[in-house]
Structure 1
Amino acid sequence: MTDASPDSPPRFTEVAPRVWVAHYDWMHVNITLVGGSDGLLMVDTHGSAAQARMVADDVRRLGAGPLTGLVNTHEHWDHHFGNATMVEQFGEMPIHATEWARDHVEDSARHTFEHYEQTTDHPRREEILATTLLLPTQTFSSAVQVDLGDRAVELIHPGRGHTAGDLVVRVPDADVLLGGDLIEESDPPFIGDDSWPLEWPITLDLALGLMTDSTVVVPGHGQVVDKAFVQDQRVDLGTIAETIRDLASRGVPESEALAQGEWPWDPDLLVSAVRLGYAHLPRSQKRLPLV
């Protein structure tokens, strides 16, 4: 089922030459197409088979060429649960991800399926549970180039942040950077149980080094942004990391850190950040209590 008729205008909007972004209301997910003479590369595939069929219809409605490759920006389900549907709809194609992401897709998906098995009142429970998992097939550790014929696209692992397996996609000739969930516009970036809050700011520094002042930046969720937006988000994440370091160095217990810190975001969003930050700090940066 789709929410658009065949006569509807394309959902994909061209944000730079031969780079189209479609924004979906559910989870404010962005799906991006990068066009070349050999076909289209899709970055992320949405969070269920049903939603991916909608995306596939939108690709056909755009009419910009055949879909010839997929990229998963990391291992979280809302970015790759559409993989199998895209292959069913368009045929076999390479699915790119970092080695870490590929190696952790199954474990991450298992947690998602278990969660929705227990969440019996979620309106999308059945479509999520009906999704078939399809793992990435092409992996890399630091950087790789994808050939689209008359255009090269760079996949870069800038470091650990939202997860340990994040990648960004750079389209040099169009001055576009796709940030995955290292960058979010609809809400503050989600710092979860598999995030690296102390390293995230440095990872964003590397991503910022790939941008110019004119770069079009596509976040994993929310509206298209620019370099200045990413710089502001980096400042917030840096403040969170430095606040954790400061509190720990002064001997503030982890259990009191959220209450005592001056945070740029709602402290309720930072429970995992504080727990993981304290856990990731070396002993030399913690003022441990005497026992």
Structure 2
Amino acid sequence: MQFSEGRFEQLRDGIWRAVLQPAAVNVGLVAGSTGALLIDTGSSPAQGARLRAAAEQRAGVPLLGAVVTHAHFDHYYGLAAFDDLPTHGHESLATALRADRVPVEAAELGFAPDDLRAPNRPLTLARLIDLGGRHVEIVHFGPGHTAGDLVVIVPDAQVIFTGDLLEQSAPPAMGPDCHLKQWPAALDGILGLVNEHTLLVPGHGEPFDRVLAFTQRAEISAVYGQVEFLIGQGVKLEDALAAGQWQYDDATIAAVLPIAYAQLASEGKVPRPTLRLL
């Protein structure tokens, strides 16, 4: 998990990103005339501390806080390095630290779970941060990739940090804690803000424009819609991969199908035998 302060790349005036391993995660840095805000914090408290020092040097103004876009290790586990500053995240992130996977991930990354911290300024819907001559908007448009995804908007620069609601380097991570049905609606909140000049910075991969964002929204919606259709046709989980028409590769779909079937089952939608008309 090495981090080099020389890895910060300027995207627009006063806005940078760096890519941190082991998950090739994008972290953002936004500076105004009096302060700066870091977006996502790396994969461990130690990595967060190195990131903090590099961010302060790059920004040239005091770091006023950090925001985490969601409760996955590569975005969240460095937060302890910023606990003396205001740290912002969705209110669900404190509960996420009690998940069974947290001790396992901490052990794999080489630190104790007790070293982790939740955001000390949790939010429900939105918050405005004044950086001096520039403000940053932090918004929860609803569940999607996780229950507590946040989007960080820099209106004057037309830059939006999307976290893992959008991806560029691989298909979106539709894991067991995603909310597949609601995900497209969360993306609609982002898409309502974009124009031809908007730069979208995903959780992983290269920044991109609105075309890829609209495409990915349609693809995620199509996955849910196709599963819903197959269940209505009585197709069982084990047959769904072969029976469906999919926007993503087989490995991606095979991983998300059990999640999608389970989520639809929670709504009372299960495959039922269909009668063949003679």
TM over 0.5: yes
For 2:172 and 2:199, the matched residues in 1 are separated by 18
Matched, 1:74 2:57: no
Matched, 1:195 2:173: no
Q: Please say which of residues 28-37 and 255-264 is displaced more in the overlay.
A: 255-264
For 2:194 and 2:46, the matched residues in 1 are separated by 35
Q: Is the 8 A contact 2:146 2:178 kept in 1?
A: yes
Out of 68, 90, 102, which is 1:98 matched to? 90
Q: Is the 8 A contact 1:10 1:61 kept in 2?
A: no
1:276 Cα deviation after fit: 3.0
Matches within 5 A, 1:28-107: 28-87=24-83, 92-100=84-92, 102-107=93-98
Unmatched tracts of structure 2, length 5 or more: none
Q: Is the 8 A contact 1:178 1:217 kept in 2?
A: yes
Residue 189 of structure 1 aligns with an amino acid whose one-letter code is P
1:2 Cα deviation after fit: 5.2
Q: Please say which of residues 186-195 and 265-274 is displaced more in the overlay.
A: 265-274
Residue 46 of structure 2 aligns with an amino acid whose one-letter code is A
Matched, 1:228 2:193: no
TM-score, normalization by structure 2: 0.89
1:108-147 Cα offsets, whole Å, 9 max, x none, are: 4x41322564xxxxxxx35355882011011222222122
- Number of aligned residue pairs: give it: 272
Q: 1:68 to 1:93 in 2, by over 3 A?
A: same
For 1:127 and 1:82, the matched residues in 2 are separated by 13
Q: Please say which of residues 47-56 and 230-239 is displaced more in the overlay.
A: 47-56
For 2:113 and 2:88, the matched residues in 1 are separated by 23
Q: Is the 8 A contact 2:165 2:172 kept in 1?
A: yes
In structure 2, the partner of 1:114 is 104
1:10 Cα deviation after fit: 3.1
1:35 Cα deviation after fit: 0.9
For 1:25 and 1:251, the matched residues in 2 are separated by 43
Q: Please say which of residues 73-82 and 58-67 is displaced more in the overlay.
A: 58-67
For 1:156 and 1:111, the matched residues in 2 are separated by 26
> Which secondary structure state, in structure 2, belongs to the residue aligned with residue 26 of structure 1?
coil
Q: Please say which of residues 217-226 and 22-31 is displaced more in the overlay.
A: 22-31
Residue 272 of structure 2 aligns with an amino acid whose one-letter code is L
Matches within 5 A, 1:179-194: 179-194=162-177
In structure 1, the partner of 2:122 is 139
In structure 1, the partner of 2:202 is 219
For 2:257 and 2:89, the matched residues in 1 are separated by 28
In structure 1, the partner of 2:16 is 20
TM-score, normalization by structure 1: 0.85
Q: 1:268 to 1:172 in 2, by over 3 A?
A: same
Matches within 5 A, 1:202-213: 202-213=185-196
Residue 189 of structure 2 aligns with an amino acid whose one-letter code is L
